[in-house]
Chains A and B, each alone.
Chain A
Amino acid sequence: MFKRKRLALLLVGLFAMAGCTKPTPSTSNDSVDPGTSVTKERIRLQVWGPIEEKPLYEKHAKEFADLNPQIEFRVDYGNVGEPEAAANILADVSTAADVFLYPDDQIFQMADKGVLAKLPAGYANKIKERDIDLAVGAATYDVDGEMYGFPVSADNGYFLVYNKKFFNEEDVKTLEGILAKTSPEHQFAMDMGNGYYALSFIQYISNISYNPLTELHTTDFNDAKSVAALQAVSDLIMPLKDKGFTSEDFNGAVLDDLTDANDNRIIAGVTGHWNTLNVLERLGDDFGATKLPTFKVGEEEVQMGSFLGSKLVGVKSSSNYLPYALAFADYITSEAAQISRFELNGWGPTNKNAAANPAVTANIGLKALSEQAPYAIPQGKSVGGLFWSNAGTIGTFLLDGPTPDGPQTLQAALDAFVTAITTK
C-alpha cells in the first residue's frame, strides 16, 4: 500500500508534467511597445560551434551587446563541431541552437528540411557585396537560388606542400618535375585511396556536379580527355609506387617524416590548410606551399584541380529570436570579425577585404589556397555521398592497376565509376 500511494502520486506528477509540455507554437517573446523601452528585452541566443571558437564568440557577444543597448543580450555556447551540426539540429529542432556553424555540404539536407533561415534580401545583398564569389555560391541553395547561410571561412581545401631544401620554385610547377626529385628514401605523399584527392587530376578540366534531390551526379569523368589525362597520371605514378610516390594520408606520422629527424622520408605532398600550422612546425623556413602542379598529357599541360569547401554560419528558421539571431550571425561574419578569427584560429576569411589583408596573404597556406582557388570546385555542390568511395577505388586503380575481379582497363573502371554515381 505504502509503495502504491507513492507510485500513484509519482504517476500523477509525471503525467501532469508530461501533459503540460506539449509543443507550443513558437511565438516571439518580444512584447515590446515600439517607442517605450522601459524594460529591456532579454535576448538569449544559443550558439553552437567548435570548442576553439568559444572565446571568440564570447568576445563578439559582448561587442554585440554594446552595439545594441536596447536589449539585454547573452550567448550560451555549446560545443558542437561543424561536422555534427546537421545531425544535432535535425535530431530535435525545437531545442537546437539559434546560430550555428556548418560546412557547406550540409546545406542541402538542412535546407531541404527547412531548418535553415532563408536570408531576407537585405542580408543576402550584403553578403553578395562583401564576400568572395565562391563563398556566395556555397551559401546558395541551388533548388531555389536563395541564400541560407553567412559565409565565414573558405579554407577547407588542399594544395601542394614541399620541403624547400629539395625543391626550387621551378621544380614544383609540374608533377614530372616533382617526381624527378623523389626517390625511395625521399617520397611524395598523396592519399590515392581517398576520394577527396583521388580525382583531383581532372577536376579542373572535366566537369562534375551533384543534384541533392536525386542524389545523382552529372559528369564527363569518363570521356576521352578525362581518360587520357588519368592514363597519363597512372603511367607516371605506377612505376614509382613506393619508390618516390607513396599513397598515404598526411597525418601525424607523415608529418613527422617531413623532418630531418626522420630523414626527410617525405619531401612533398598534397595536403590542406588544416595542416598548415603542423607543417610549419616541422619545416620552419623550409616550408614551401603553392598551387597544385600541372602534368603532361601528350603535348598539353593539364592543371590539377581540387576541392574547396567553406564554412557557413546558419540561423535556425524557427528561432524565437530570429531578428537578433540574424543580426548576430551577420556581425560574427563581418570583415572585422573575420580578421579576429584569422588572428585567433587562422581561418581563411571569405570577406573580400579581409582576404586582401596583408596579414592574411602572409600566411603560407592561405596564399597557396588562393593560388589554387581558381582551379578548385566547390565541394558541396559538385559531389555527394556516392562519389567518395567510388572515387577512392579509381585512385587505387591509378596507382595499383586492376584487381583480379574488377574492371581491367582504365576506361572500363571509369565507366563503372560514372555509372555508379549517375544511376540508382
Chain B
Amino acid sequence: MQTNGMSQKQKSKFSLFFIAIGMWFVNLFKAVGAYFTKIGKGIARFFVNVYKQFITGGWRTKISHFIMGLGHALLGRPIKAIIYLLMQVGYFIFMFIPGGGIYWLGKLRTLGTVAVEYTSECTMIPPVPIEECDPDFITYSKPIYKDNSMLIMLFGVATLIVTIGFLIFYFVQVKGVYQAEKTYVAAKKAYLNSGKEEKFVNPLPTFKEELNSLLNSRFHFTTMAIPTITITTFTVLPLIFMILLAFTNFNKHNGPPNKLFTWVGLQTFQNLFSSQGTNSFGQALGKIVQWTFIWAFFATFTNYIFGMILAMIINRRSIKAKKVWRTIFVISIAVPQFVTLLLMSQLLKDNGPLNFTLMQWGLIDKQIKFLTDPILAKVTVILVNIWVGVPYTMLITSGILMNIPNDLYESARIDGAGPVRQFMKITLPYMLFVTGPYLITQFIGNINNFNVIFFLTQGGPPTGHLGQATYGHTDILVTWLYALTVGGDKQEYAIGSALGIFIFLISATITLILYSRTSAAQQEGDFA
C-alpha cells in the first residue's frame, strides 16, 4: 500500500514504470520467439511420431492410414469405423465435386483470372435469336460473371479450414487405431497365453462405453463440440477472410462484380500508415488513435467513478427507498441504446429542443453547438456516455460495495478518519482490486464503443481532412472503420481490414498486458 506520495517517490515510480514497460516488451519478444520455436519443434515431433506410428503399428494401423476407420472395424468396433469412413467419403465428395474444394483452392493463389465476359442478347419481346433480332434491340454488353475474387477468397479459406478439420480427425483416428491395436494385440496375446479358459473379451471400449465417457471423462468434448463448429464457421472463417483481405487491394476500383482484386503483400498496410502527401491515411490514423485513447480513458474513468459515487450514495445506511432509486436509473438502460442515442442526437441539435428551451428561458442567447463544435462535440459524447453507462456501473459497484466488511469502516471511524479518507483508503483500493478485470474489459470496450459516437455525431463534425481518408472530430477507430467500408461509398475494404487488424492488435495487447498484471487473474482457478 502506498504511503503518502512524496514527489520524489512518485517520480522514481514513473521511471520504474517505464522501465517495467520496456522490460515487458523485451520479455514479450523473447516469449514470442520461444513460443514459435516451441511450435516448430512440436510440429517436427508430431510428424516424427506419425512416421513412427506407421512403421511400428500393426497391419490394421497401416490400413487405417488409407481407409479411415477400417482399423476399428477390424478390431470389432464397427460403429466407430462407419463414422470415420463417412467422414472420409464426405470430405472427398466435398473436395472433388464440381465447384467443390479443389476448384476454390486452385484459384486462391491468383484470386481469379477473368472477372466477367460480355455476351450479346436480343431484348425484343418475345425474344428471338440474335440473327433475326432488330439491331436496335440487341445489347452487346450483357455480363456473364466468372471469377469473383471475394468468393474465391472466402470459399478457398473455407476449404482450407475444412481440410484442416478433416486432417485433425484423420490423425486422431490413426492414433486411435494405433493405440487400440496395441491394446487389443496385447490382450489377445495374454488371452492366448492364459490358456483360452473363458471367452476372449475385447478390451476396447464399446460404443456405449464411449458414449458414456463423453458424458464424463470427455464431457469437455461434448460441451465444446457445437460451439467449436459454430465459432469456426461464423467467427473464425470470416476473421481469417478479413485478415487476408488486408493483403489485397480490394477497393472501389478493384473488386467484384466486374473487376478482380489480387494479392499485394504489405502494400495496403503501407498505405494505411503512410503520412505522405495531404489527406493521407497515416495522418488521419494518428489523430484518430489519439482521440480514441483519450475517449476510452475518460469514458471508462468517468463512468466508473460516478457510478461508484452514485452507488455509495444510494447504499448509505440513512438513505431510504434504495430500490426505488435504483429502479429509476435502471429504466434508462432498458430502452435500447440506439433509441436513446438517436433521441439524444435530436435533442442536442443546434436548433433542437434543448437549445430552444434554454434560449426561451433566457439562459443563453446563442445556440450551443453541442454536436457540431469540434471541442464541444467531444465533451458532449463523453457526457452522454456517462448518461448511458452510469446505471450499469452503479449496479455493479453496488453489489460489491455491500460486500466490504463494515468493521473496516468502524475501526477507521474510531480512529477518527473522515469520509473522504475512508473512501481513499478502504473503498477505492478494494473496488479497484475486485473490479480490475471489469475495468479492463470496459476500457477495451470503450476503445471499440461504436454505438455512442455513431448515433450521436456519426463521427463528425468534419475535419479539414479530405479524400478517401476523411474523418470527423469525434471519430474513433471503429467509427472510422465503418465509414471506410460499409457506411458509405468509399469501399476501401482492404484498408478497412488492415485497420481492423490494427484495432485488434491494440485491444488484444492491452488486454493481455493489463490482465496478466491484475492479481485476480493470477489467482485464476488452478488445478492442483
A binding-site residues for B, Cβ under 8 Å: 1-5, 7-9, 11-12, 15-16, 18-23, 25-26, 28, 30, 32, 34, 68, 70-71, 86, 90, 93-94, 109, 113-115, 117-118, 120-123, 125, 248-249, 253, 317-318, 322-324, 326-327, 385-386, 389-390, 420, 424
Contacts and interface: CB of A to CB of B under 8 A. Distances in A.
B139 A118 contact: yes
Given A1-B79, A23-B148, A34-B128, 11 more contacts: A3-B214, A4-B83, A8-B87, A12-B86, A71-B126, A113-B258, A115-B257, A120-B138, A121-B136, A323-B126, A424-B466
B139 A120 contact: yes
A90 to B, nearest CB: 8
B125 A93 contact: no
Given A11-B90, A15-B94, A113-B257, A2 B214 contact: yes
A93 B93 contact: no
Interface in B122-151: 122-129, 134-139, 141-146, 148, 151
A1 B77 CA distance: 12
A250 B148 CA distance: 45
Interface residues of B, number: 63
A122 B158 contact: no
Nearest to A248: B351
Nearest to B137: A122
Nearest to B129: A34
B143 A23 contact: no
B83 A18 contact: no
Contact of A424 (B93, B98, B121, B467): B467
A16 to B, nearest CB: 6
Contacts of B49: none
B316 to A, nearest CB: 43
A19 B86 contact: no
A113 B116 CA distance: 11
Contacts of B127: 28, 30, 323
Nearest to B467: A424
A26 B145 contact: yes
B134 A122 contact: yes
A120 B136 contact: yes
Nearest to A420: B466
Given A9-B86, A317-B143, A318-B145, A68 B99 contact: no
Given A12-B86, A32-B126, A114-B116, A386 B466 contact: yes
Contacts of A93: 145, 256-257
15 contacts: A2-B211, A12-B90, A20-B99, A30-B127, A86-B489, A115-B258, A117-B142, A122-B134, A317-B142, A318-B142, A318-B257, A323-B125, A323-B126, A420-B466, A424-B467
Interface in B389-428: none
Contacts of B123: 120, 122-123, 322-323, 326-327
Contacts of A420: 464, 466
Interface string B237-267: 0000000000000001000111100000000
A94 B141 contact: no
Contacts of A21: 99
